[in-house]
Amino acid sequence: MTTGNPTREFGCIIVGGGIHGTYLAQRLLEDAPFDRSDVLIVDPHDRLLASFREKAKACGMEALRSTFVHHVGTEPFGLESFAEANDREDELVPTVDYPPRPSLDLFLDYSDYVIDRKNLGSLHRRAAVDAIHELPDGTGLRLETTEGPIDTNYCILAIGHGGHYRWPDWAAGLDGVEHIWEGFDPDASADRTIVVGGGITAAQLACELSETESVTLLSRHPLEWEVSEADPPWINWSHVEETLHIHPPGSSDRFEVISDARNAATIPPYLYQELGNRINEGELTLAQGAVDSATVEDGSVRLSLDHGLQLLGDRVVLATGFEPVFDHPFVDRIADELELARGYRGMPVLDDDTLAWQRDDGWFVPLYVSGALALGAVGPYAPNIPGARRAGDRITAAIKHRRHRSEADGTSESASGMGASD
């Protein structure tokens, strides 16, 4: 983790040290290419991938939903080679009609191997970014962080959902109700737990907790299974171009295409089967319905459902997902300060070829986007590991092009101009 002069200038700063930020740092070093001293990852956690590790532990994840070729390294078969070299092929979990998936332990151990081998931790500065401004001379950006200002020629937003979790109205301020991503302790003891949610996180948590306590899984809709987060063709950039990019950037048409393509609130078949086994063996109860009201009675939480059923638990754990990242206050501040273009429901208007966030007036700002914020350009896999790879292809090529052109012209690397790839 870096320290030192906080006002020095970097070639490129990545905001976010999760899977996307960790992967993109390697692409910048290998393909842009930047010197190590020119790349910085700014993230408030104590280590890279910290948020992912915490969330995986909290929900009881045992294996990744994605296949073994999707990981934080830049070599597609790097994780498989790591497993073979360490006699851990048994942790590549066979999956019906799908390539093997890595266990969580294997995925994290390989991630640590990549981070250590490439010394990526030395690129990490522990800080939160509060604001981003354009430098007065138009030569780059200034990031206002909790550790002081930092200047950069280019910046990549890889922020995830940034702690913006979805709480149902009935749960607000109620004792005994907690969100799985917000202070939930999976090791805390309880006799009866109600897990609220209908997707993979809720199912993983319900299965994990049912090993030691009575668990009810409450979903508003019938549980549905899907192998992956979206149909496999969406991993291919040509499919994204043919299916998504035919609609105007930031448009409601793009939003609808993405919403239809994402298998949101679904459970992979292997977990769906495990849930069924737990239910058949009496270890877990499944309930369906919407919560009309919730009350606390003698230290227990009572949920009254819309069809009359009542559920009683020592605690209620919400696995209800995230609020849309387009609505995040940090995103609002950046967009307002830099006068960035936004479309339907606040979707960033990105250049499809470079993933640069366009300004309202069409002028270039050296700000690029990866992760959930890039859904409108990268497609339904944008928040996931395949999305990091597709974003890395576009962003590193764009920055490399601008750097080479600046060297040839003798101009500042990130000087403003018309168009994202001006």
Q: pLDDT of 335-376, one tens digit each?
A: 999 999 999 999 999 999 999 999 999 889 999 999 999 999
**Model confidence at 5: pLDDT above 50:** no
Mean pLDDT, range 161-172, rounded to an integer: 89
Q: Are 140 and 414 in contact (CB under 8 A)?
A: yes
In this predicted model, what pLDDT tens digit does every residue of 130-157 receive, in sequence order?
999 999 888 899 999 999 999 999 999 9
In this predicted model, what pLDDT tens digit does every residue of 261-276 receive, in sequence order?
999 999 999 999 999 9
pLDDT computed for residue 19 by the predictor: 98
**Model confidence at 414: pLDDT above 80:** no
User: Residue 411: which pLDDT band, with cuts at 50, 70 and 90?
Assistant: low
pLDDT computed for residue 6 by the predictor: 46
The Cα 420–Cα 167 span in angstroms is 37
> Which SS3 state, helix, strand or coil, does residue 166 take?
coil
pLDDT computed for residue 164 by the predictor: 83
**Model confidence at 420: pLDDT above 60:** no
Q: Which DSSP helix (H) or strand (E) runs through 192?
A: strand 192-196
Q: Are 145 and 128 in contact (CB under 8 A)?
A: yes
Mean pLDDT, range 217-243, rounded to an integer: 96
Mean pLDDT, range 325-336, rounded to an integer: 95
What are the Cα distances from residue 181, in Å, to 46, 56, 188, 266, 387?
Answer: 17, 10, 15, 18, 22
Q: What's the one-letter identity of residue 247?
A: H
**Model confidence at 205: pLDDT above 60:** yes
CA 115, 121, 123, 129 torsion-angle sign: positive
pLDDT computed for residue 415 by the predictor: 54
Packing angle of the helix pair 19-31, 104-117 (nearest 10 deg):
40
Mean pLDDT, range 292-300, rounded to an integer: 94
User: Residue 417: which pLDDT band, with cuts at 50, 70 and 90?
Assistant: low
Q: What is the pTM of this model?
A: 0.94
Instruction: Round the average pLDDT of the chain to a whole number and report it.
Output: 94
Beta-bridge mates of residue 131 = 144
The Cα 126–Cα 23 span in angstroms is 18
CA 308 remoteness from chain centre: 37
Count of C-beta atoms within a 10 Å radius of residue 411: 13
Provide the residue ranges of all domains of the chain, joining segments of one domain with +.
Answer: 9-163+324-409, 169-228+264-318
Mean pLDDT, range 53-81, rounded to an integer: 96
In this predicted model, what pLDDT tens digit does every residue of 88-127 receive, in sequence order?
999 999 888 889 999 999 999 999 999 999 999 999 999 9
Q: Write a three-state SS string for 265-317.
A: CCECHHHHHHHHHHHHCCCEEEEECCEEEEEEECCEEEEEECCCCEEEECEEE
Q: Which DSSP helix (H) or strand (E) runs through 93?
A: strand 92-95
CA 45 remoteness from chain centre: 15
The Cα 254–Cα 244 span in angstroms is 6
What are the Cα distances from residue 238, in Å, to 35, 227, 245, 378?
Answer: 32, 22, 10, 11
The Cα 88–Cα 103 span in angstroms is 10
**Model confidence at 297: pLDDT above 60:** yes
Rg (CA), the chain: 22
Count of C-beta atoms within a 10 Å radius of residue 339: 12
| Domain 169-228+264-318: top CATH class | alpha beta
The Cα 37–Cα 119 span in angstroms is 12
What are the Cα distances from residue 51, in Å, to 19, 55, 108, 142, 182?
Answer: 10, 6, 12, 25, 11
What are the Cα distances from residue 223, in Å, to 101, 171, 283, 422?
Answer: 22, 22, 18, 48
The Cα 119–Cα 180 span in angstroms is 32
**Model confidence at 247: pLDDT above 80:** yes
> Which SS3 state, helix, strand or coil, does residue 71 take?
coil
The pair of structure tokens assigned to 81 is 């080679």
CA end-to-end span of the chain: 35
**Model confidence at 199: pLDDT above 60:** yes
The Cα 95–Cα 228 span in angstroms is 12
pLDDT computed for residue 120 by the predictor: 99
CATH of 9-163+324-409, one of 3.50.50.60, 3.40.50.300, 3.30.70.890, 1.20.1250.20: 3.50.50.60
pLDDT computed for residue 284 by the predictor: 97
pLDDT computed for residue 403 by the predictor: 92
Mean pLDDT, range 156-172, rounded to an integer: 91
